[in-house]
Amino acid sequence: MEGLGLSAPVIFFAAIFTNNILLTNFLGMCSFLAISREVKASLGLGFAVIFVMTCTSALNYLVYYHLLVPLGLIHFRYIVFIIVIAAFVQLVEMVIERSSPILYVVLGIFLPLITVNCAILGVALFMIIRNYTFLQSVAYGAGAGIGWTLAILAMGGIREKLKGASIPKPLEGPGIALIIAGLMALAFMAFSGMIQIQ
């Protein structure tokens, strides 16, 4: 219902800035905290997430509305979504291993991580709760992926600069990362006057 009034580009924009999946929905935090120590690794993981998120949101949409709903199996959506995501990631891994060794070196190690990234499953669940159309779902998936990448890149950059800082011992690592994420969430809230989806 909520989704109907918004066009796909608006949802795309909102998913990047006003409703950033990491900073407002807290999804994908585990890999966010683990990987964001360097910009380079963040970028690799970010691209993998954008790609997988866009494609799986389209796939999950088709599976949900053309398979599960007609068959009356919507309670099994969690299992089905997980299998779709895992199968897709496996497939992509095999394809790029064959076709593009360079891309495989860049993305290869990140792909298995993505299966357990809760943001991917989160996108699929949100698109159903918000009753998005196919186009809106794909826009939301792509936007959420880009938004996530933006956040992890910014975090990687900040944490690289922090290496020389003298942080209290117990606050090192995840502690300081969470405080920074809080500040970033504050900064992103400045966008929220523009559009709101929720």
Partner 1 sequence: MIVMVELKSRKIFASGVWKENPVFRQILGICSALAVTNLLINTLIMGLSLIFVVTMSNVTVSILRSITPTRIRMMVQTLIIASYVIIVDVFLKAYLPDISEALGPYVGLIITNCIIMGRCEAFARNNTVWPSFVDGVASGCGYAFVLLTIAFFRELMGFGTLFGMDVMPGGWTNWIIMVMPPGAFFMLGAFIWIVRSLGPRGEEEELKK
Contact positions toward partner 1, by CB under 8 A? 23-30, 33, 75-79, 82, 86, 116-118, 121-122, 125-126, 129, 168-171, 173-179, 181-183, 185-186, 189
Long-range contacts of 121-124 (CB under 8 A, 24+ apart): 121/78, 121/81, 121/82, 121/85, 122/21, 122/25, 122/27, 122/28, 123/21, 123/53, 123/56, 123/57, 124/56, 124/57, 124/60, 124/64, 124/81, 124/85
- Minimum separation from the CB atom of position 101 to partner 1 (A): 25
- Minimum separation from the CB atom of position 109 to partner 1 (A): 16
Q: How far is residue 67's CA from residue 186's CA, in Å, rounded to a whole number? A: 41
- Minimum separation from the CB atom of position 89 to partner 1 (A): 12
Q: Of the two residues 8 and 184, which places its CB atom closer to partner 1 in the complex? A: 184
Q: Of the two residues 70 and 168, which places its CB atom closer to partner 1 in the complex? A: 168
Q: Of the two residues 92 and 123, which places its CB atom closer to partner 1 in the complex? A: 123
Q: Of the two residues 103 and 162, which places its CB atom closer to partner 1 in the complex? A: 162
- Minimum separation from the CB atom of position 176 to partner 1 (A): 7
- Minimum separation from the CB atom of position 169 to partner 1 (A): 8
Q: Of the two residues 96 and 123, which places its CB atom closer to partner 1 in the complex? A: 123
Please provide the DSSP assignment of 116-175 as one string: T-HHHHHHHHHHHHTT--HHHHHHHHHHHHHHHHHHHHHHHHHHHHHTTS---GGGTTHH
